Each structure stands twice: as structure tokens, then as C-alpha cells.
């Protein structure tokens, strides 16, 4: 190999974070390539898109939109490798259902059918597999989606980690709905559906055995119903994103980059639960970069913002929805936060994920 530097041990210059590192500088895959930040985007852009020869993949959406037999479908997949398998508020089974249901919901689609594939490590207790499967069944019922096809593979001990789950999902996109990152525009109001940072902190607390006063539970939840309630106000939602890996910072940066709009956040408006804030302070994490698994961020035309916010407040998944910012014509493609002290700071796309294997 021409470049034998080990990128796992090389320090990363923070100045490079907003500028994807050329893929050729990574002779091997590092944890950050799975983090949903700049390294993941680079892998898609420089490796998968050229290999598949499919520009649709480069659309940076949570799901693909495809036409089949006259139906307009959303189609999405995610693998789940979260560690540990169970945590306060849920487990890998909940994530596997809600994560894919939510990816479909971010294009306005109502999830209809899921596939579900397990890769199980030899020697895993059968009771663990059953507990994961039962959580999938319960979560699917709650999200009103059916698991209709599946697969199980077993790998030798030392080549897995208990259970990895993949789900793919399909759903119908309603007529007249066109929700895409590219559609965000100056004037849009930015709304988050609830408190941020809970999932990441919940994982970290159980993984590291830390306590932060009150127990923090994952926010894992299906968002299809909330999106339908928002669409009932207006089909003209511009962009939706569930801020999972990379947190709000990644979601907002992706939409800013795709649409070329500037985004201004108000840090004071950001709903951060006290326990999350205290955990982040203790650990040196920024809540903007912590993963959520049951929240969405919406870019809504100003004239519809009040009514959409009211509809969100009326839905169980949106009772704490809040306006957190707006789109501006200034600094196109860049996300800026107004700090509580009145200053501003640039909110960059993260390079990887602060916490590996968060979902």
C-alpha cells in the first residue's frame, strides 16, 4: 500500500472536519466510517456511488423514492449494531423497527412492510435472540408496520457480537408530497419534535456504568404518525430528517449543504433535558452531536410553521416540539448557532460519531 500511516492512530486536524478527507488517505476502514458524519458521506460519495453507478444514492435522503407498478414508494435499509443490545428505554429490536420506519417517514411515507435479517454470533443465548425478536414484534405493532420476510445467518464466536439486525422497509409516499433536503429555503422555520440527546446519553450511561442524577432513557419511537399529523396541516413540508448518528449537527449540515441555504440555530431554544445537559457537561460532549432515535427536525415554510407546530404539540411524539432556528440567505450551506451568551459559532458536520455503535 502506498500510504502506510495508520489512520486509527493519526491525530485528525479539526480544521479538516468540514472538508471530507480524500478516501485514498484511508487504507483501512476506521470506526468513524460508520458514524454518519463526514467520513460516512465520503464513503458514499467516493466509493459506493461510483461502484453502483447510481446517482440516486447520492441524493442524501434517508430513503430512496422509487416508482413501481404505478405506486410511488419509499425504500430504505439500516443495519443495527448497537452495544449493548438492551438499554434504558429500549433495545436493538426497537431501534431496528423505529429506525427504518422513521427513515421512510422522513420522505412523508407511511411504512407498510419491513424485512428483518439477523446475524447471530454462535453461542448467543437463545433467550437473547427471542427477546430481540419479541421487541421487534412489539415495536412493529406500535408503528403499524408488518414484518413480512426475514433471514438468519450464524457466524462463529469471535466474528460477531451477540446479534446484529438489518431491516429494510417500504411504504407509500402520498400524492402531492415532495419532502427533500434540497427543498429547504431561506425563510423556513426549523422545528425539532422534542428534547435532544437522550438516546446517546442513555447508551453511554449503561455502557460506561455512569449515572447522571435521573436515569436517562432512549427516545426511540416511531415517527410515522407524527409526520402524518404534520402533513394533515400542509403537504408542503420542505425537508425532514431524523437526527440519529451525528445528531442534530449532522442532520442540519446535510440539509444546509443539499439546499445551499444557511441555517441559524438558537442554542437557548434547543430543548436539552437537564440530565442530558449535565451528562454532556461531565463528558465534554456537545448535545448537538449526540444521537436521537425518536426525534425529527423539520424545515417548514414560515406561513405554515405555527399550524404545524400546533399539530405536533397535539401528537404524543411532539408534545415538546420547539422552534429552534430558521433558514437564511447568508452563509449558504453553513449552520451557525447563536450561543446563550449572544455570540455565534459554526456548527460543523462531525467527522465520525463521538460514540461508536450507537445504533
Task: Determine the interface stretch with its own copies among 30-38, 195-203, 210-218, 324-332 (rule: CB under 8 A).
Answer: 30-38
Residues 6+ apart with CB under 8 A from 34: 40, 81, 245, 352, 353, 356, 357
Residues 6+ apart with CB under 8 A from 143: 97, 98, 101, 111, 222, 224
Any contact of residue 244 with its own copies (CB under 8 A)?
no
Cα angle for residues 320, 321, 323 (degrees, 5° grid)? 135
Cβ proximity of 353 and 282 under 8 Å: no
DSSP 103-115: HHHTTTPEEEEEE
Site residues for its own copies, 88-147, by CB under 8 A, read 112-113, 115-127, 129-130, 133-134, 136-137, 140-141, 146-147
Any contact of residue 156 with its own copies (CB under 8 A)?
yes
C-alpha cell at 325: 432556528
Site residues for its own copies, 258-287, by CB under 8 A, read none
83 vs 158: CA distance, rounded Å: 15
Query: Is the CB of 51 or the CB of 341 nearer to its own copies?
Result: 51
Site residues for its own copies, 317-356, by CB under 8 A, read 356
Query: Is the CB of 130 or the CB of 345 nearer to its own copies?
Result: 130
Task: Determine the interface stretch with its own copies among 38-46, 210-218, 275-283, 306-314 (rule: CB under 8 A).
Answer: 38-46
Binding mask 60-99 for its own copies (x = CB under 8 A): ---xx-x-xxxxxx-xxxxxxx------------------
> Cα–Cα distances in Å, from 168 out to 4, 74, 171?
37, 11, 10
Query: Is the CB of 30 or the CB of 308 nearer to its own copies?
Result: 30
Any contact of residue 2 with its own copies (CB under 8 A)?
no
Query: Is the CB of 32 or the CB of 200 nearer to its own copies?
Result: 32
Amino acid at each position: 500500500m502506498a500510504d502506510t500511516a495508520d489512520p486509527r492512530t493519526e491525530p485528525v486536524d479539526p480544521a479538516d472536519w468540514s472538508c471530507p478527507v480524500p478516501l485514498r488517505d484511508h487504507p483501512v476502514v476506521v470506526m468513524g466510517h460508520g458514524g454518519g458524519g463526514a467520513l460516512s458521506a465520503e464513503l458514499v460519495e467516493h466509493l459506493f456511488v461510483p461502484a453502483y453507478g447510481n446517482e440516486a444514492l447520492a441524493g442524501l435522503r434517508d430513503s430512496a423514492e422509487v416508482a413501481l407498478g404505478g405506486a410511488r414508494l419509499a425504500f430504505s435499509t439500516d443495519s443495527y449494531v448497537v452495544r449493548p443490545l438492551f438499554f434504558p428505554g429500549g433495545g436493538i429490536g426497537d431501534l431496528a423497527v423505529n429506525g427504518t420506519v422513521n427513515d421512510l417517514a422522513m420522505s412523508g411515507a407511511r411504512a407498510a412492510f419491513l424485512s428483518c435479517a439477523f446475524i447471530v454470533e454462535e453461542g448467543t443465548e437463545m433467550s437473547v435472540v427471542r427477546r430481540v425478536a419479541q421487541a421487534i414484534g412489539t415495536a412493529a405493532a406500535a408503528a403499524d408496520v408488518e414484518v413480512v420476510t426475514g433471514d438468519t445467518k450464524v457466524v462463529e464466536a469471535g466474528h460477531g457480537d451477540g446479534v446484529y439486525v438489518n431491516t429494510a422497509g417500504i411504504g407509500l409516499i402520498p400524492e402531492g408530497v415532495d419532502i427533500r433536503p434540497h427543498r429547504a429555503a431561506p425563510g423556513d422555520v426549523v422545528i425539532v419534535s422534542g428534547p435532544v440527546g437522550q438516546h446517546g446519553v442513555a447508551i453511554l450511561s449503561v455502557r460506561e456504568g455512569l449515572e447522571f442524577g435521573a436515569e436517562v432513557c432512549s427516545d426511540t419511537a416511531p415517527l410515522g404518525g407524527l409526520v402524518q399529523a404534520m402533513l394533515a396541516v400542509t403537504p408542503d413540508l420542505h425537508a425532514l430528517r431524523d437526527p440519529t448518528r451525528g445528531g442534530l449537527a449532522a442532520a442540519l449540515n446535510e440539509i444546509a449543504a443539499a439546499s445551499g441555504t444557511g441555517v441559524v440555530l438558537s442554542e437557548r431554544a434547543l430543548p436539552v433535558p437537564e440530565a442530558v445537559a449535565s451528562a454532556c457537561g461531565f463528558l465534554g460532549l456537545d448535545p448537538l452531536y449526540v444521537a436521537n432515535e425518536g426525534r425529527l427536525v423539520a424545515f417548514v415554510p414560515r406561513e405554515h410553521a405555527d399550524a404545524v407546530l400546533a399539530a405536533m404539540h397535539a401528537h404524543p411524539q411532539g408534545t415538546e416540539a420547539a422552534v429552534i432556528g430558521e433558514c437564511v440567505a447568508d452563509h449558504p450551506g453553513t449552520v451557525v448557532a447563536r450561543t446563550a451568551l449572544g455570540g455565534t459559532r459554526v456548527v460543523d458536520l462531525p467527522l465520525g460519531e463521538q460514540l461508536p455503535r450507537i445504533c
